[in-house]
Amino acid sequence: MHAHLCPPTHAEDGTTYWWRANPDDDDDPEVSLTDPEGPGWRPGWAFRAGDEGSAEVWRVAELPDGTRYLWRPNPEDEDDPETQFWVEGALESGAPYWYDNADPEKISLTDPFEAGWEGPED
């Protein structure tokens, strides 16, 4: 995956980012704010449902402070994507779980940032 990333680019505000083409949408490249050669870098795509080009696809992104979140285009407002901030916790057994920061009753026993995640538990 690293081979397809373009060299670091600098935005007008000085932010450094890396990008690569989206095979399904030339107008929507994958962008990472973390160095793909640095520690903790992960590919930016996570698929929850639907095909890669569908509106159901959640993408993994990372804030400059390292906080990861999920986002996808909002069909009702292209300037305001849908986001989900999942927080990791631990069960009494020590096993990890994740909860949605906006709705702590939504939980997942599998990592929402891993490809193939199927959504929170029912």
Has residue 114 been placed in a domain?
A: no
3-state SS, residue 2? helix
Has residue 119 been placed in a domain?
A: no
Beta strands in the chain (DSSP E): 9-10, 16-22, 25-32, 59-62, 68-72, 82-84, 86-90, 96-100, 103-108
Has residue 113 been placed in a domain?
A: no
Q: Give the C-alpha separation, 122 to 11, whole Å.
A: 41
**What's the domain count of the chain?**
1
Q: What residue numbers bound the domain in which 75 lies?
A: 2-108
Give pLDDT, residue 48: 41
CB of 66 closer than 8 Å to CB of 85? no
Give pLDDT, residue 7: 66
Has residue 27 been placed in a domain?
A: yes
Give pLDDT, residue 55: 56
pTM recorded for the entire structure: 0.56
Low-confidence ranges of the chain (pLDDT < 50): 1-3, 39-40, 44-52
